[in-house]
Amino acid sequence: MHKPSHLREAFLDFLDPGTPVEDFTVEHDGEDRDLDWLLGQLWTCTDILPASYCDQLDMPKGSTYAQAVRRVKEQPEMFQ
C-alpha cells in the first residue's frame, strides 16, 4: 500500500545518523507525532526503500518501507 511521501521522507530522516529516538517527531495534520506513530503508518507501505538505506539496514535492495519498519521494530537497539 502506497503511503504519503512526507511520511516516507520522515522515516528516512529518522534513519539518518544523529537522530535520537526520544527526540524524533514528525508533523502530520498540524500535530507532532512520535516514532511509534510513524512506524505504524508505514507498517504496510509497499513503496521501495532507496538502495542506500537498504545497505544501511543490511537488507536486500528492493526492500519495502514496511520491511524496514519491521527491522526497526525488531532491532530497536540499532537505533538508540
Domain residue ranges in the chain? 5-75
Query: For residue range 45-70, what is the model confidence (pLDDT) as tens digits?
Result: 999 999 999 999 999 999 999 999 99
Say what the pLDDT of residue 80 is. Answer: 60
C-alpha cell at 48: 521501495
For residue 23, the SS3 value is: helix
pTM above 0.75, yes or no: yes
Can you tell me which residue has the cell 537498504? 54
Integer-rounded Cα Rg, in Å, for the chain is: 12
Please, which pLDDT band fits residue 1 given cuts at 50, 70 and 90? confident
Lookup: cell for 9: 521522507
Q: pLDDT tens, 14-49? A: 998 777 777 889 999 999 999 999 999 999 999 999
With CA atoms as reference, report the closest residue to 38 among 19, 56, 62: 19
Measure the CA–CA gap between 16 and 37, rounded to whole angstroms: 18
Nearest to 10 by CA among 20, 22, 24: 24
